[in-house]
């Protein structure tokens, strides 16, 4: 069976199950990327090839979980619709999401990345670090999402689960967004139009993450910019509900995971209980 020929049917199934277009594009991207990297005459459903692909040592844990989820949704669909006799990925235990402490990217590292960034990358970085957008939310920003208000610009953000929220933009982020729009054809609605296979739509979220991650050194990533936003927003407001709203979280417990420790305040507390006078 030609599994590549089955992809349009699979993506139609995803849309029919009310997946967002961003999710559909991401899932299809992961599967196509896997299939396009296979040697000729290779069985794409061979367990060893699937395991070898997902074991890529250069991937971060979040990238591996996302790719595995896409491939598993695909193989499960092939199995449940009778196209294959068994689901090979059913043999791989679910990936565990590590419970880690918040890791807000330090401001000096962000500033250095901005100095070396072009117009497009600068807009991506500031939207993550100063507006708290996820990579999928950055990818889908369009002209109609920008709101000009008396106090400044705001942005309608299209979040997970098709939930929308409005986030005020800093002057620097607003300027970066406007400069990027000036580079885009007025006929295109997207802030970051796609240049590849999907030239009629926005850039893929995974590409946004790759570009930002490449601009940051070491362990810092696009997601740590979102941690930075949550930490600074809470430090300035001490209002977890407000930060939850700005982040687009459904639960305050999720927001708390993103808020980094205020080390200056913590040091004052710890110094105050010192046994040494």
Average pLDDT over residues 139-164: 91
User: Is the pLDDT at 106 greater than 80, yes or no?
Assistant: yes
CATH class of 107-262: mainly alpha
215 neighbors 97 (Cβ within 8 angstroms): no
- Residue-wise pLDDT for 242-254, tens only, equals 999 999 998 888 8
CA distances from 70 to 57, 77, 110, 223 (A): 18, 11, 31, 20
pLDDT given at position 121: 97
Distance CA 67, CA 72 (A): 9
Domain ranges across the chain: 4-91, 107-262
- Residue-wise pLDDT for 14-39, tens only, equals 999 888 777 888 899 999 999 998 88
What percent of the chain is modeled with pLDDT above 70? 93
CA distances from 24 to 7, 17, 30, 75, 168 (A): 11, 10, 10, 15, 28
pLDDT given at position 250: 87
Please classify residue 64 by burial: count the beta carbons closer than 10 Å to its beta carbon, then call 0-12 exposed, 13-18 middle and 19+ buried. Answer: middle
User: Is the pLDDT at 181 greater than 60, yes or no?
Assistant: yes
Please report the DSSP string for the chain in residue order: --TGGGHHHHHHHHHHTT--HHHHHHHHHHHHHHHHTSPTT--TT-HHHHHHHHT-TTS-HHHHHHHHHHHHHHHHHHHHTTSSSS-GGGGSPPPPPP-----PPPHHHHHHHHHH--HHHHHHHHHHHTT---HHHHHT-BGGGEEEETTEEEEEEE-GGG-EEEEEPPHHHHHHHHHHHHHS-TT--BSSB--STTTTSBPPHHHHHHHHHHHS-TT--HHHHHHHHHHHHHHHH--HHHHHHHHT-SSHHHHHHHPPP-HHHHHHHHHHT-S--
Structure confidence at residue 10 as a pLDDT band (50, 70, 90): very high
Distance CA 246, CA 257 (A): 15
Average pLDDT over residues 85-97: 80
CATH number attached to the domain at 4-91: 1.10.150.130
Distance CA 84, CA 77 (A): 9
pTM (2 decimals)? Answer: 0.70
Mean of all residue pLDDT scores within the chain? 88
- Residue-wise pLDDT for 208-222, tens only, equals 999 999 999 988 999
Q: CB 113: neighbour CB atoms within 10 A?
A: 21
pLDDT given at position 264: 67
């Amino acid at each position: 069976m030609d599994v590549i020929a089955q992809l349009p049917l699979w993506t139609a199934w995803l849309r029919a199950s009310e997946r967002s277009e961003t999710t559909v594009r991401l899932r299809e991207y992961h599967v196509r990327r896997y299939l396009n990297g296979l040697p000729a005459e290779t069985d794409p459903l061979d367990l060893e090839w699937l395991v070898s692909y997902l074991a890529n040592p250069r991937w971060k844990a979040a990238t591996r979980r996302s790719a595995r989820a896409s491939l598993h949704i695909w193989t499960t669909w092939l199995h449940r619709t009778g196209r294959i006799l068994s689901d090979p990925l059913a043999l791989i235990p679910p990936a565990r999401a590590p419970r880690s402490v918040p890791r807000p990217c330090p401001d000096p590292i962000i500033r250095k990345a901005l100095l070396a960034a072009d117009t497009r990358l600068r807009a991506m970085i500031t939207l993550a670090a100063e507006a708290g957008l996820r990579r999928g939310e950055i990818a889908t920003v369009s002209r109609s999402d920008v709101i000009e208000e008396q106090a400044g610009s705001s942005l309608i953000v299209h979040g997970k689960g098709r939930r929308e929220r409005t986030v005020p933009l800093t002057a620097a982020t607003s300027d970066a967004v406007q400069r990027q729009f000036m580079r885009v054809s007025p006929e295109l609605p997207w802030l970051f139009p796609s240049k590849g296979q999907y030239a009629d739509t926005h850039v893929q979220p995974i590409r946004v993450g790759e570009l930002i991650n490449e601009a940051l050194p070491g362990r810092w990533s696009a997601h740590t910019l979102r941690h930075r936003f949550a930490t600074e927003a809470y430090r300035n407001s001490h209002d977890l509900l407000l930060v939850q709203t700005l982040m687009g979280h459904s639960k305050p417990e999720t927001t708390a995971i993103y808020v980094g420790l205020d080390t200056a305040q913590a040091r004052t507390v710890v110094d105050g209980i010192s046994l040494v006078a």
